[in-house]
Amino acid sequence: MKVLLQFPEGLKQYALKHAKELESKGDEVFISASPTYGACDLAIDEAKKLGAEKLVHFGHSEFHKVDFNVEYVPYTIDANIDLLANIKAELAPYKKVGIVTTVQQVHQIEDIKRSLEAMGKEVFIGKPYGFAKKQGQILGCDIGSAASINKDVDCFLYFGGGLFHPLGAVYATTKPFLAMDPFGNKWMWLDSHREMQAKRKKAIIMRSIFAKKFGILVSKKNGQHNLNLAKVLKLRLEKDGNEAAILIGDTFDFESLDNMMEFDAFVNTACPRLATDDTERLRKPLLSANEAMELMAIRAQK
């Protein structure tokens, strides 16, 4: 069978090994070299261009339905659950603990629960909104597993690698939020990021207050494509006397966007994390769709 393999950035280092394994079984194998960060970004166009019959996407579970033969190969890693003993003192003031993790650790969530229960905690595991598929699992854009139990818990514990995923959940919740990285045996409270994010949001709206020309980012990635929202935003911005244009791209290149100097501000409809995590990479303000609406509401009051 002719197959295309796709790996997120952290797993690209293993691409050749997997390709050779499949080749030895008789498959004709290609590897996507394009950047990818989630199952929202399936290399279906590349697979079709190659005449591949299947896309094998590593590192993520299914994000949304697509009209192509896709096999998902989540990369699970067994983390050392015993390390939770190291944060017993941190969790001591809290009785009800909500736990969240990523696809890499979600198979261990019951072990994490039992370990916390052994410390005397009442443990809560929430439901994702729909992009994530397992209870307790979060994505950068699906923090339902945290938000759905925010009212029930005294604090949250994220158990997994990196800070990209828990930060999304921190922004959407109000309770103390501890992140433990079992691979580095490190932990930190992330609550200060809520205030930083609120300040960022306020600053970005104020920097856009006199903007007249808006570029609305639309991604062609299959799980991020939101042209309808972009069209609504364009109409709304124009109704308020602005000029607006829809800008289509794949993985947006911020240097390239910086070259579009006619625009006073950009509005994001692609991966929602662009407008929370990447705003410093652009010279002009990058607003989320909600922030663009808030901007217009503020202007209407003046």
79 near ligand SF4 (CB under 6 A): no
Phi first, then psi: give them for residue 280, nearest 5 degrees: -70, -15
**Between residues 139 and 157, which has the closer beta carbon with respect to ligand SF4?**
139
**Between residues 38 and 144, which has the closer beta carbon with respect to ligand SF4?**
38
Smallest distance from ligand SF4 to CB 10, Å = 13
Judged by CB under 6 A, the residue of 43, 265, 271, 295 near ligand SF4 is: 271
139 near ligand SF4 (CB under 6 A): yes
| Helix pair angle (164-171, 192-207), 10° resolution | 80
Give long-range contacts, CB 8 A cutoff, 24+ apart: 63-71: 63/38, 63/39, 63/131, 63/139, 63/223, 64/39, 64/40, 64/131, 64/222, 64/223, 66/42, 66/222, 68/42, 68/44, 70/42, 70/44
228/219 Cα distance (integer angstroms): 12
37 near ligand SF4 (CB under 6 A): yes
Smallest distance from ligand SF4 to CB 273, Å = 5
CB atoms within 10 A of CB 139: 26
Give ∠ CA 154-158-159 in degrees, rounded to 5. Answer: 130
140 near ligand SF4 (CB under 6 A): yes
| Helix pair angle (227-239, 289-301), 10° resolution | 10
38 near ligand SF4 (CB under 6 A): yes
144 near ligand SF4 (CB under 6 A): no
**Between residues 242 and 276, which has the closer beta carbon with respect to ligand SF4?**
276
Give ∠ CA 116-172-217 in degrees, rounded to 5. Answer: 135
40 near ligand SF4 (CB under 6 A): yes
Name the 3-class secondary structure at 68: coil
**Between residues 50 and 66, which has the closer beta carbon with respect to ligand SF4?**
66
70 near ligand SF4 (CB under 6 A): no
Judged by CB under 6 A, the residue of 141, 179, 180, 287 near ligand SF4 is: 141
First to last CA, the chain: 63
**Between residues 123 and 169, which has the closer beta carbon with respect to ligand SF4?**
169
Question: Which of the residues 198 through 227 are near ligand SF4 (CB under 6 A)?
Answer: 224
Judged by CB under 6 A, the residue of 173, 273, 276, 289 near ligand SF4 is: 273
The contact set with ligand SF4 (CB under 6 A) reads 37-38, 40, 139-141, 224, 271, 273
